[in-house]
C-alpha cells in the first residue's frame, strides 16, 4: 500500500503548548493564511514519511528531532488533497529563534487558545485528539515536598509545578506572597505574559474558594505597590495547578480597562 503523500509534526513542549506555523496566504497552497503544523510532502515515492518529516523540519526551521513517533494518519483538505501522516515529538526551545524559511511566523500556543485562531481544520482536529488523550492519561498521585505536607502540587509532566516552584529552572519573579508565586513566562506568547501559580494545591482559579483564600487577589494586594497592577494585565495568562500537578491556563476576559483582571 502506498504511503500518504503529506507529513506533519505535532510538537509539544513541557508546558503542554503546541508549536504552530502561520502559513503564507498564497492561492494554490494547502490551507493558506492559517495556523497549522510544520511539515510537507514526500519528494518521491521512494522517500518514507519518516525521512520526509525529518527533511521538512530541517529545511523549514533547522530542527532535528530524532525521537519523532508516528501518531496518526488523516485526510487533508485543499487543492492537493490526499492524506497526511502526523508525527508526535517533544521540544522545549524558543520558537522565535528558529530560522524559518517558509511561511510567516512560529509560536507556542496552549490548547485553550486554538479555538481563537484561524486554524487548518485537520491540524485543529489533531490537537483536539491529543488534548483528549492527555486528559485521560494516568498520572502519579505521590505528593511533592513543596509547602506543607499534602498541600503542594503533585508531580506530572508540568513545567510550572515541577520546575518553577521547585527552583530547578531559573525564573524572573514579578511578585510573591505566602500563597502564590508570579513570574514572567520563560517563552512568552505576548508582550506581557505573566504566570501565577498557587503554592497551595488549587484545583482551579475558577473554582469557588473560602473567603480570604483568593491566591490571585493576594498577589494583586501585596505591599500596595504599583507592581501589583502589572501582575495580571489584560493580555496576561493565568495558570493554576489542577489535581495531579497539571497546570491549566485561564485567559482573562478582554474588554475595556477597569483596573481589574
The band of 34, judged by pLDDT with boundaries at 50, 70 and 90, is very high
Confidence at residue 202, expressed as pLDDT on a 0 to 100 scale: 56
Average confidence score pLDDT of the chain: 74
- Given a cut of 70, whether residue 161 has pLDDT beyond it is no
- Given a cut of 50, whether residue 182 has pLDDT beyond it is yes
What are the chain's domains? 6-135 (3.90.79.10), 159-250 (3.30.428)
Confidence at residue 192, expressed as pLDDT on a 0 to 100 scale: 76
Please give the average per-residue pLDDT across 37-65, as a whole number. 94
The band of 200, judged by pLDDT with boundaries at 50, 70 and 90, is low
Please give the average per-residue pLDDT across 161-176, as a whole number. 77
The band of 235, judged by pLDDT with boundaries at 50, 70 and 90, is very low
Confidence at residue 238, expressed as pLDDT on a 0 to 100 scale: 41
Residue 53: CB atoms within 10 A of its CB come to: 25
All three cell numbers of 120, joined, read: 487548518
- Given a cut of 50, whether residue 258 has pLDDT beyond it is no
Please give the average per-residue pLDDT across 51-60, as a whole number. 96
Confidence at residue 207, expressed as pLDDT on a 0 to 100 scale: 53
- Given a cut of 80, whether residue 118 has pLDDT beyond it is yes
How many angstroms separate the CA atoms of 124 and 117, rounded? 9
Confidence at residue 147, expressed as pLDDT on a 0 to 100 scale: 32
- Given a cut of 70, whether residue 85 has pLDDT beyond it is yes
Alpha-carbon Rg of the chain, whole angstroms?
A: 20
Confidence at residue 95, expressed as pLDDT on a 0 to 100 scale: 94
Amino acid at each position: 500500500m502506498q504511503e500518504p503523500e503529506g507529513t506533519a509534526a505535532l510538537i509539544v513542549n513541557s508546558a503542554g503548548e503546541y508549536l504552530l506555523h502561520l502559513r503564507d496566504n498564497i492561492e494554490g497552497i494547502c490551507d493558506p493564511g492559517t495556523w497549522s503544523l510544520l511539515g510537507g510532502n514526500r519528494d518521491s515515492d521512494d522517500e518514507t514519511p519518516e525521512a520526509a518529516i525529518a527533511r521538512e523540519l530541517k529545511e523549514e526551521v533547522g530542527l532535528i528531532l530524532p525521537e519523532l513517533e508516528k501518531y496518526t494518519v488523516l485526510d487533508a483538505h485543499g487543492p492537493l488533497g490526499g492524506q497526511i501522516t502526523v508525527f508526535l515529538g517533544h521540544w522545549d526551545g524558543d520558537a522565535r529563534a528558529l530560522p524559518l524559511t517558509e511561511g510567516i511566523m512560529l509560536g507556542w500556543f496552549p490548547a485553550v487558545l486554538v479555538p481563537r485562531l484561524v486554524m487548518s481544520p485537520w491540524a485543529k482536529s489533531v490537537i483536539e485528539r491529543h488534548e483528549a488523550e492527555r486528559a485521560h492519561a494516568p498520572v502519579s498521585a505521590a505528593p511533592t515536598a513543596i509547602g506543607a505536607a499534602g498541600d503542594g502540587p503533585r508531580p506530572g509532566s508540568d513545567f510550572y509545578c515541577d520546575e518553577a516552584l521547585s527552583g530547578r529552572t531559573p525564573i524572573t519573579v514579578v511578585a510573591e506572597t505566602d500563597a502564590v508565586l508570579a513570574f514572567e513566562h520563560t517563552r512568552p506568547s505576548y508582550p506581557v505574559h505573566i504566570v501565577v501559580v498557587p503554592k497551595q494545591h488549587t484545583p482551579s482559579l475558577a473554582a469557588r474558594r473560602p473567603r480570604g483564600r483568593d491566591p490571585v487577589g493576594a498577589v494583586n494586594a501585596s505591599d500596595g505597590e504599583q507592581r501589583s497592577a502589572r501582575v495580571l494585565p489584560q493580555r496576561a495568562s493565568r495558570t493554576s495547578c489542577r489535581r495531579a500537578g497539571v497546570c491549566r491556563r485561564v485567559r482573562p476576559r478582554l474588554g475595556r480597562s477597569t483596573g481589574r483582571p
